[in-house]
Amino acid sequence: MTSKTYELLLSAAADAEVVDTHDHLRPPADFGTPMTLTSLLLHTYVAKCIRRPDGSTNGIGDSYEDLIPVDYPNFAEIARRAGLSSYFVWLMRGVAELYELPSPIIGPAAFEKLSVELPKRYADPAWIPTVLDKANIREVVWDPFWKPGTTHGPDPRLIPSMRINSSVVAFHPDASDYEGTNLIRDWADPLGVSVESLADLEDLIERVVQLNLEAGARSLKSALAYQRSLHVRPAKRSDAARIFGARPDRITADQRDVFGDYVTQVFMDIAQRHNLVVQVHTGLARLGDSSPMRLIPLIEAYPNVVFDLFHGGYPWVHDVAAIAQNYPNVRLNLTWLPQISTEVAVASLKEWLQVVPQVDRISWGADCHTVEEMYGALLAARHVVARALADLVDCGYIDQDQALVAVASVLGGAGKSIYRISRSR
């Protein structure tokens, strides 16, 4: 069913220089030593496929069915249950290619080979750079969510994107965001500052942002959709100053939101001042209030700030396209979408290319913790880009040369232009 055009565009995609505009690649030691297949799977989206209901409100609870640890019988059962999900399909294609397995369908012999190879590769400090080279990745916009503000990762191609979540909960050092972090706990001591007031917190934010700028940061990251509404209301500094210091068990939900609204504005002002892109997780998270439409008041309040809307706002893939058409300061990011649903990603990309008024406004990122899943995500992205554009060529909508321009743009050119990545880096 694949056309000649698809084959040609897929090979162009495989040759394209890639800018991965959103990823989490963790240092190898974070996975435990020695590395195991259990640890690999638990650090991929496949873990979502074997979740037990646990009352989680944002889709990321970590209570799993009885298939852990992952020995071969458990692996085969996970493959049987989750084998049709895009998460599983692309992870296994990535693994098969990187570990030279005969097929992405992993039998007992391949399972054994992988179990032996994984710890060896993870013991080699060159493993992550090797995979980034093989993937043709030039730069990675990197979100170290386990300690927002961290500037250096396991490869020099990683450019930090400071996550704002740990700051919007920093009304008290004992409060935590949904990942368990707090800017005061993470940074006050290492930077030798004491945070006793909102003004001190604002200074701390400035200092950590400064470190990120010195490390080449071009963006900030908001994953607020996992912990609160995307709707940010205008908030007064005096109200936030009064709330500062409230103990997490004493603060009301409304005060939490007001404080978060104010700190978000602090970051928007920083973005405006330093010309930083604001990357926003939209869709899949707390589904009640993660629709990209909820972001409109913020987008309108900061017309000089570029907002990069992530994940196609899935399931609101049409909504993000409409937003990008209405607001010239909005960009769209395919990140994670090809792994959520490859088919939706193909359909979305076709629609976005028609709706978003200019080329170089749609980029891609892998959004993974491990290089194995990142590599699989890139294979997914190449497939999505080639299929979407082959459809548009084969039905006579555009010609092949236009399609080739779009392939290079989505995989690399757009990321370079949106994140002002220069050749000199």
Residue closer to Zn ion by CB (options 179, 257) is: 179
Question: Considering beta carbons, is residue 20 or 367 the nearer one to Zn ion?
Answer: 367
Regarding 367 and contact with Zn ion (CB under 5 A), the answer is yes
State in angstroms the smallest separation of the CB of 207 from Zn ion.
25
**What's the chain's length in residues?**
425
20 binds Zn ion (CB under 5 A): no
Residue 303 CB, shortest distance to Zn ion, in Å, is: 26
For residue 24, the minimal CB distance to Zn ion (Å) is 6
Stretch (H or E) spanning 390: helix 371-394
In the complex with Zn ion, the residue whose CB is nearer, 226 or 267, is 226
Q: Which is nearer to Zn ion, 35 or 340 (CB)?
A: 340
**Any contact of residue 373 with Zn ion (CB under 5 A)?**
no
How many CA atoms within 13 Å lie on the side-chain side of 52?
Answer: 8
CB of 10 to Zn ion, least distance (A): 26
Q: In what order do the strands lie in the sheet with 307-310?
A: 18-23, 137-142, 158-163, 219-222, 277-281, 307-310, 330-333, 362-363
Q: Which of 404, 371, 398 is nearest to 386 (CA)?
A: 404
Which residue's C-beta sits nearest to Zn ion?
Answer: 367
DSSP 27-68: -GGGG-SS--HHHHHHTSTHHHHTBPP---SSS----B-S--
Does 308 bind Zn ion (CB under 5 A)? Our answer is no
Beta carbons of 233 and 174 less than 8 angstroms apart: no
For residue 23, state whether it binds Zn ion (rule: CB under 5 A). no
Q: How far is the CB of 394 from Zn ion (least distance, A)?
A: 33
Nearer Cβ to Zn ion (75/316): 316
Residue 354 to residue 194: CA distance in whole angstroms: 51
Q: At closest approach, how far in Å is the CB of 72 from Zn ion? A: 30
Which residue stretches of 68-170 are H helix?
72-82, 86-98, 108-123, 127-134, 165-168
Smallest CA-to-CA distance from 369 within 143, 72, 209 is with: 143
Count residues binding Zn ion (CB under 5 A): 1
70/128 with CB nearer Zn ion: 128
CB nearer to Zn ion: pick between 9 and 225: 225
Q: In whole angstroms, what is the distance from residue 355 CA to residue 312 CA? A: 13
186 binds Zn ion (CB under 5 A): no
Pick the stretch among 42-50, 211-219, 365-373, 416-424 that binds Zn ion (CB under 5 A): 365-373
* Cα distance between residue 407 and residue 388, in whole Å: 10
What angle, 0 to 180 degrees and rounded to 10, lies between the N-to-C axes of helices 108-123 and 72-82? Answer: 100
Query: With respect to Zn ion, which residue has the nearer C-beta, 319 or 367?
Result: 367
Q: Which stretch binds Zn ion (CB under 5 A): 57-65, 100-108, 284-292, 359-367?
A: 359-367
Please identify, among the stretches 203-211, 271-279, 300-308, 360-368, the one whose residues bind Zn ion according to the rule CB under 5 A.
Answer: 360-368
User: What is the nearest approach in angstroms of Zn ion to the Cβ of residue 332?
Assistant: 15
Binding site for Zn ion (CB under 5 A): 367
